Amino acid sequence: MTTIPFPVELDAPDIQPHRRSGTGTDFIHTFESGKPGPHVMVNALTHGNEICGAIAVDRLLREGLRPTRGTLTLAFANVEAYSRFDRERPFATRFVDEDFNRVWTPSTLDGPRRSVELDRARQLRPFVDAADFLLDIHSMLEPSPAVMICGPLDKGIRFAFDIGLPEHVVSDTGHANGTRMRDYGGFGDPSSPKNAQLIECGQHWEKKAAVVAWQTTWRFLRALDVVDRERAAKEIDENVAPQKLVRVTDAVVANSPAFRFAREFTGLEVIERRGDVIAWDGENAVRAPYDNCVLIMPVPHNIKTGLTAVRLGRIETR
């Protein structure tokens, strides 16, 4: 992993000044406006090496952002993994024991099993339960355009388009090996008014990932009308591309250590013709199942047998 030529262009902020908070839970800060409104949560560091979200939340806290209505929670999640971040070994701190973003089912959270990530998820759980709206800030292993992961529900799709960034909105059903925070509880219930988004801001350590995190956070807060409108207008760049909806149809799992892509892909490429070869899994061809097939978050340099190498989707009109 250390030989992959991805420069670390971002500096991981010192979040220790944010350890103590009025909530009584380290690194989680809640501010009440005293006026009716939703409880809105912005979460960073679901994975310890995805530092663009930490940069955004650190800046909001340092600048003293407060809600104009409702309640705002600003959180750093997997702080133990983040504390181990090393620019010389930047891939090594995604998590300590297990993926923090696969433990969000009540049976797992209520069960007897212990891990660094589960213990921290249990600390975050009351705040996630209390939130009406969640923005979970992530980044990607490989260089790729930013995508908003809105989940499978119509309410999530609508909310992603209300936020208006980034260009590509991806509707999916999550992962077979565990539940994400953005799908937890009411966020994944079509009958609940709660809603959540997961933004993938680009490659983990590229400078523009921090820009995407900052812009998406302000658009999220503006869409919910919980921050000063004039301040939001100053922070938000309105020069953005029209959004597209991509609905995931398939996940391509690497069944062989010899899995390899047919050519270099960086994400969101469109394979125009059904049957065109996307990859080789050993000697077996992986082909586009339909015309205009979109490749979502391919992983050409860190493919592991049994895990998803790329997801496939269709562009839909709205």
pLDDT in tens, the chain (318 residues): 445 568 899 999 999 999 999 999 999 999 999 999 999 999 999 999 999 999 999 999 999 999 999 999 999 999 999 999 988 888 889 999 999 999 999 999 999 999 999 999 999 999 999 999 999 999 998 889 999 999 999 999 999 999 999 999 999 998 878 899 999 999 999 999 999 999 999 999 999 999 999 999 999 999 999 999 999 999 999 999 999 999 999 999 999 999 999 999 989 999 999 999 999 999 999 999 999 999 999 988 778 888 889 999 999 977
Name the residue ranges covered by the structural domains of the chain: 16-235, 245-316
- Evaluate whether 16-235 and 245-316 have a shared fold: no
The four Cα atoms 99, 100, 104, 107 give a dihedral, to 10 degrees, of 70
Q: Which CATH architecture has domain 245-316?
A: Beta Barrel (2.40)
The reported pTM is 0.94
Question: Which residues have a Cβ under 8 Å from the Cβ of 62 and sit 6 or more positions away?
Answer: none
HSE (side-chain half, CA atoms, 13 Å) at 211 = 9
CATH of 16-235, one of 3.40.50.720, 3.40.50.10210, 3.40.630.10, 1.10.10.10: 3.40.630.10
- Rounded Cα distance, 214 and 283, in Å: 44
315: DSSP letter: E
Q: Cβ-count burial of 202 within 10 angstroms (0-12 exposed, 13-18 middle, 19+ buried)? A: buried
